[in-house]
Chains A and B, each alone.
Chain A
Amino acid sequence: MTEFDVSADIEAVVEDTELSEDLKEEVYRTVEERDANVEQADEIARAVEHRYLDTRVDALDPVGTVSAQSIGEPGTQLTMNTFHYAGVAEIDVTQGLPRLIELVDARKTPDTPTMTVHLDDEYATDRERAHEVVWKIEATKILALGDISTNVADMRVHIDLNPDTLQERWPTVDSVDEIAGEVAGIIEDSLGVNAVQQGTNVEFGPEEPSYRDLLQLVEELRDVTFKGIEEVSRVVIRKEETEEGDEFVLYTEGSAFGDVLTIEGVDASRTTCNNIHEIHSELGIEAAREIIIEETKTTLEEQGLDDVNVRHLMLVADIMTNRGEIESIGRHGISGSKESVLARAAFEVTVNHLLDAAIHGEVDDLNGVTENVIVGKPIKLGTGDVNLKMGSVNRSSQAD
């Protein structure tokens, strides 16, 4: 069964323990290295088992409260500042306490949405190919493509496209003329005007001469996305050392996770985003749990609080995703959907909860912690969850 060269007897004594698989492996390896006999192996295994069982979490441990405290207590040490990312100086990312609050609040959109886009195969290694992906992601606005001028006399908007930029951003199209035509087409579609394209020059104007319409067209033009994903305002490309070796990784300002995953060249298996809701809708609840753990962890780590055990973060992520959708921590989420009226009333919006409870004829069974504190009963956690009675009881009559 094991790949280690140990006798069947040793295997029997080790397998007999309650150790986890990797610890058993380690015991086998040690026994093999030390060439221990069965008796010694048994003692080693038992001693390891003893230590192992000692490190198991105790039954009836109030792990929830402990985890909450373990995350909340260092909260006082987090900064309020939004600093730039440790890795990518070019992109500002919300950090510290505001980010942590944002995460447990499960905000629909984070303050600073960003994606980390990993690339496939040659896209990851070839800067040219990587840039192809960048242009597919980064929203290209007119100002990046050329100069706009307005001719008030003729009521025309004139765009002088920069051929180099065009070629750069549409690397797959050969002729600049063709690209300019495409640009003109997008302008026609999105502004509803007739655009005249001649070489790299595009011209259009309002249907009826109106100064106001002209200015408005220019305004609208600035917002038109010609290429890429509208939500992504900026992409930074960086060469990084990853498990796959040196490769190009893209960091974005703004996120549209679903759109990015479909782009050719993007490695969907490694690409992530800091919006937990996007992850949830694209990859499901397990991925959402994973990203909550990952995001809270990095948030804490960047503040030098890498000593918070991940297990606490897991518990928070688990309770947030327990019902198959992301629930926030607070009155709109977990605390607000508690069964007990008293627990809800004791948290926030006291009066409304009481009135609603009356209308719906709710019954509080007094199972939870807060309720029992309120009515003055021992809470059902830890030692309060055990009923021990002293006295001599006939053993045979004790069926339970």
Chain B
Amino acid sequence: MLKHLFKLIWNKKKQHFLLMVEILFSFLIMFAVFTLAVYNYKNYQRPMGFDHENVWALSYYDKDRSGADKDSLALFYEMVKRTISHAPEVAAVSFVSNNSPFTMSMNNSVITRNNKTAQVDHFSADDDYVGVLKPVLLKGRWYGRADDGAALEPIVVNRSFETMFFPGEDPVGKTIKVGDHDARIVGVVQDMKDKGDYKPLGPGLYQRTTRSSYSWLSRMLIRIKPGAGANFEGRLYKQVAGILQDATVEIEHLDEKRVVKNNITLIPLIVFGVIAGFLILNVSLGLFGVLWYTISKRKAEIGLRRAVGATGAGISRQVVSETLVLATISLVVGLFFAVQFPLLNVFFMEESVYYTAILLALLFIYALVVVCAFYPGRQAAGIYPAVALHED
């Protein structure tokens, strides 16, 4: 049966060539669409790992402070922080580095352990970070006053960091080289999706700010008690801008920043999806039209088949299977190209993303072909042998 169908198609290979090219390209487009969709959906499904509701980011861009005296800076900025935390609407305040959640800035450090080297996100935050963003502690503790006199600088790492550098070990209490000095890991937190809902998780470490950090720190995260509104924001702004003379001050809401950050990922995806959808609709209409036309050309053959005993359902099945064989030929070629992506690891995505996408694209193209062939098949089944044979 299959051999017979293949022969039928092979005899008309010239006529079917363009159709096959079209199916091949549709498959490749759907492969790209599903790869992006699966990749982003997988990232979206993972938990955020922190609570960004009711958190404001207060940035102050000041003139160069690197020459100023360390202790007087520390005294001044600790006073600023205390002033802000004293407001009844504020729950917690933490100084953070500029790569705070939902910003564009990145800060990386290269970490090496047991012959494994990788770039990890390097965050700086003070002891109250835990109260502001509420990260999920998996092991150990967040650094705090207890580390004041410690010989080694305390750091907290995330889950991806643990699995990358400490497979099968407990990292708490171990030392690792960060930059040019050693640091002791005191805790492990769940990975935070701080770059947006659709971003992948990666290894990261949180370093404790010290008294000398105030020369470059320029942002605070503030957790607000629910219910404090724009009224309080205006007062807070005036207060801070009054203390920090000469600095440009800005207050942003993390939930708004999250929407903006997500849109940067989503809008191109939606545009690409709409264009791909239009292309596929175009192809399916064309496929449908060509099949329909081919059936009307093959009336004599189908009439003959009916006359020697083929049932209507059989004919309809034959039309659909013919199209499926046709699609399979192009899909085999398409698979050859698609499989190169996971094999060569082109875009550093997980292999499972590509394989899921290939499977979905295959199913989609088969479904599309069946839908397009179904009506012409029904039409072919309705041909009466007497009428068809008489016509020729």
State yes or no: do A and B come from one complex.
no
Residues of A within 8 A of B (CB): none
